[in-house]
Amino acid sequence: MRVGLFFGSFNPVHIGHLALAQYLLNQSDLDEIWFVLSPQNPHKQKESLLDSHARLEMLHLALRDSPSIRPCDIELYLPKPSYTIDTLTYLREKYKHDFVLLIGEDNLQSLHKWKNATHLVETTPVYVYPRLACAQTASNIIETHWADASKQFQFFAEAPVFSLSSSFIRQTIKQKKEVMFYLPLLVYQYVFDKGYYS
């Protein structure tokens, strides 16, 4: 089975995440996509980041009816801080799947700075989706940093691009404005039942 790993804090998970994942699932050779929940970074402000288990619950609610897009909580149980290469190593030991890294063009720009980046790219296919306001095009980044491993990268230029972000949704809730159509319905109900972000 070929599984795409979509990493994020999902604070909260929103329709942009879901639409992008569905597109990549439909337009690629992936059998499943796992939303890998990132734990709290001890060096970042915790103020607006919900507890990991609340964010995981939102993922379960958002993906409850999807047979091929699933939540993954593995990083909550691995040593902190979490590094993608370590998560992949663990997942490969636990499952016999072919894993693919899903990243936006914005993360592609800093990929060469990630822990064991060369080994990561040499051993893991990378599917890249477009993001707004990237300083360099994906092809320029590959040419600059990954010319020897360019075959590991696949681009999905037609993937939907959303300016919608979790931080915008949190800010909108704080301003007591409506966000019903930004969130999956069950996530929307959960956020307001709990009084999160307000």
> How do 126-129 and 32-37 pair as beta strands?
unpaired
How far apart are the two ends of the chain, measured CA to CA in Å? Answer: 41
**Each residue's pLDDT tens digit, 96-135:** 999 999 999 889 989 999 999 999 999 999 999 988 766 5
* Burial track 120-134 (b if 16+ CB lie within 10 A, e otherwise): bbeebbbbbbbbeeb
| pLDDT score for 41 | 58
Task: Show me where the domains of the chain are located.
Answer: 2-161
Which residues does residue 169 pair with via DSSP β-bridges, in sequence order? Answer: none
136 phi and psi angles, rounded to 5 deg:
-125, 155
Percent of the chain, pLDDT > 70?
94
Each residue's pLDDT tens digit, 126-160: 999 988 766 567 888 888 889 889 999 999 989 99
Q: At what angle do helices 185-194 and 52-62 cross, to 10 degrees?
A: 150
Class of domain 2-161: alpha beta
The predicted-structure confidence for 27-74, as pLDDT tens digits, reads as follows 999 999 999 999 965 545 556 799 999 999 999 999 999 999 999 999
